[in-house]
């Protein structure tokens, strides 16, 4: 029998053994990313920046990576998850506010009338955010967020919202941290809506979360205990041209790696690209209606239009969700 | 001869050896602090918070320590060092602004007329800050700060300002970090004035510096390069009741250890004290006119009045600079 085993088969077997050996010696840090140009762009970049002697080597202190949240780290359809939280809060509070049954924009939310809600515009949304996000201490708000993330379910996927995070992006952030990067969230979402769960879900502690915020006010309660009250006044919108402002204010260093998914991330990517040296600019393009959603230039949520043009023009990395990602969400 | 060596001498020698052994096995992490109640309060607290099984044990993620800067980590006399920077900048810019020779508050600075300057009040100071701190990109401002810290000298100590940091506080921050704490600066000073040098001087990276800030604006230059312009508009004052607001905004967690030196730190200390569990609130009391300065209730810079009463009332730790510190500044 041995004589029947051809030299070719032996060589093939050796190749398999050798590949298996190499795989076990160096486990793929990005198993949910299909092999291809996108994955290679990421691993090549990290290797160039972190290899001593490489012309692009960057010391650990300067390895700053920033990620948008909605649509980049977790799903943002059919509405931003923070909007879903606000609607759920509003419904829970409605019993104490009978007047809302006749008053827009509250009536629209209670009736599930998305058309009337859309007519109330940004002003209406701000009113909803004001009544659901302010008038309590920052600590009481944190509790409300944690209650919601523990109980609310996404209408399509029937899973808690904080499970609808992108498995490939979780792997990417871990991979970057393993290579000495500090990972930051830079989101248009509310900073106090994200911080209660980002460490558990993304491995990103509160102090590495940058987001939009409302004004808070220091108070001494009658018993002398200090408290911070959330006021119904916008303090900072961390979106679009606000993202470089937020990065500068909170981080104080230029990112060398940035990932977004919409036109609201364009300026963060431009800001990252503006500094000398090798930089990584990435965009998640939602192309997978079957496993997640497909949307870009005409979407009301997470519109990706100008930033897609800019990415193509400047050779930024565009993730094709359908082609590049083996898996979208973490396994159940 | 051996018979003359008494048992007592042998025992004494053993004690010395044993003490020496213990000293080398466990080097004093705070060598510039004299032994006494203050030092003991610090080391007892850290031991209680970081010893597994202790009822006050706090996991590493929650070990947040915040420090005021002016008068707590570095000297703040005869004027806040950032004011000295602003005056030096103003003088350097004066050749391009001949009109300043006849216009207050600029004239007062150029003439060294501190009385006229005092008359211009906070409004005058803000005008000086506006012309010296804004109208350039954040990166150009960083360069100006680094030039100044490299060249300017303190009028009394004739040393660079960044050498006039308190050696005992440097040791304290290192000691805390060794014990798993994250150290943050929470200062009324300008965030962009501190960040260029805090990592080198204090071991605190830019993203762990909280401070007052001006508005910045994102711009795309004609060549498509992104830039952030500093505008002459105050965005946030991180002082007094602003400190808990800044801590909440930038850190998102409650400090368990906080150190200040003036009434501007009172609310930060109250905020730290407000949360259940063992907390450390410390105040540097400037009592050493010979080696540094002595000032408290009546000082125009770094006034310590209400916070001193509160500290005494609530048993916070008050550092008596003269008695508690072996050394003030790092050796030349």
Residues B243 and A215 sit within 8 Å (Cβ to Cβ): no
All residues of chain A having their beta carbon less than 8 Å from the beta carbon of residue B220 are: 270
Please give the Cα distance from A301 to A84 (Å, whole number): 13
In this structure, how many other beta carbons lie within 10 angstroms of the beta carbon of residue A313? Answer: 8
Q: A162 vs A82, A165, A180, B138, CA distance in Å?
A: 11, 6, 26, 36
Please give the Cα distance from A281 to A263 (Å, whole number): 13
Please give the Cα distance from B9 to A22 (Å, whole number): 66
Residue B6 has a pLDDT of 56
All residues of chain A having their beta carbon less than 8 Å from the beta carbon of residue B206 are: 251-253
Closest residue in B to A60 (Cα–Cα): B205
Residue B2 has a pLDDT of 43
Give the percent of chain A with pLDDT over 90.
87
Question: Dihedral (C-alpha) B155, B160, B165, B167: value to the nearest 10 degrees?
Answer: -110
How does DSSP classify residue B148? H
Residues A250 and A243 sit within 8 Å (Cβ to Cβ): no
Please give the Cα distance from A149 to A72 (Å, whole number): 19
Residues B39 and B30 sit within 8 Å (Cβ to Cβ): yes
Closest residue in A to B207 (Cα–Cα): A251
Chain A: closest CA distance from residue B311 (Å): 14
Q: Would you state the structure tokens that stand for residue B252, as one six-digit string?
A: 């998102």
Specify burial of residue B223 (Cβ count, 10 A radius: 0-12, 13-18, 19+). exposed
Give the percent of chain B with pLDDT over 70.
92
Please give the Cα distance from B131 to B113 (Å, whole number): 19
One-character DSSP codes across B91-122: HHHGGG-GGGGGSTTHHHHHHT-HHHHHHHHH
**Average pLDDT for A27-40:** 97
Residues A72 and A169 sit within 8 Å (Cβ to Cβ): yes
Q: How many residues does chain A have?
A: 332
**Average pLDDT for A50-67:** 96
Q: Given pLDDT bands bounded at 50, 70 and 90, which one contains residue A275? A: confident
Please give the Cα distance from A270 to A277 (Å, whole number): 14
Contact B191 A271 (CB under 8 A): no
Counting one residue from A and one from B, how many pairs have CB atoms under 8 Å apart?
A: 91
Q: Is the pLDDT of residue B19 over 50?
A: no
Question: H or E stretch including B139?
Answer: helix B138-151
In this structure, how many other beta carbons lie within 10 angstroms of the beta carbon of residue B46? Answer: 22
Please give the Cα distance from A87 to A90 (Å, whole number): 5
Residue listed under structure tokens 């994200």? A194
Nearest to A108 by CA among A122, A128, A89: A128
pTM: 0.90
Q: Given pLDDT bands bounded at 50, 70 and 90, which one contains residue A224? A: confident
């Amino acid at each position: 029998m041995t004589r029947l085993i051809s030299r070719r088969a032996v060589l093939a077997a050796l190749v398999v053994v050798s590949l298996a050996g190499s795989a076990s010696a160096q486990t793929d840090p990005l198993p949910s990313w299909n092999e291809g140009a996108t994955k290679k762009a990421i691993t090549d970049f990290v290797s160039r920046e972190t290899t001593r002697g490489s012309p692009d080597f960057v010391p650990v202190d300067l390895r700053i990576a920033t990620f948008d949240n909605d649509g980049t780290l977790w799903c943002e359809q059919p509405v931003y998850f923070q909007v879903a939280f606000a609607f759920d809060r509003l419904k829970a509070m409605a019993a104490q506010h009978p007047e809302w049954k006749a008053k827009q924009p509250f009536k629209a939310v209670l009736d599930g009338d998305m058309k009337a809600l859309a007519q109330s515009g940004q002003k209406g949304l701000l009113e909803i955010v004001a009544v659901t996000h302010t008038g309590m201490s920052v600590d009481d708000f944190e509790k409300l967020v944690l209650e919601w993330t523990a109980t609310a379910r996404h209408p399509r996927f029937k899973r808690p919202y904080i499970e609808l995070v992108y498995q490939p992006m979780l792997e990417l952030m871990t991979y970057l941290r393993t290579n000495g990067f500090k990972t930051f969230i830079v989101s248009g979402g509310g900073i106090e809506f994200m911080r209660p769960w980002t460490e558990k879900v993304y491995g990103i502690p509160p102090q590495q979360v940058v987001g939009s915020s409302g004004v808070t006010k220091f108070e001494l309660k009658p018993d002398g205990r200090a408290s911070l009250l959330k006021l119904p006044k916008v303090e900072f919108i961390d979106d679009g041209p606000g993202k470089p402002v937020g990065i500068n204010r909170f981080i104080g260093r230029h990112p060398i790696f940035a990932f977004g998914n919409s036109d609201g991330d364009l300026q963060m990517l431009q800001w990252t690209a503006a500094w000398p040296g090798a930089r990584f600019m990435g965009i998640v393009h939602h192309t997978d209606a079957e496993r997640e959603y497909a949307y870009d230039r005409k979407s009301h949520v997470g519109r990706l239009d100008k930033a897609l043009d800019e990415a193509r023009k400047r050779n930024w990395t565009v993730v094709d969700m359908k082609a590049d990602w083996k898996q979208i969400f973490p396994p159940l």
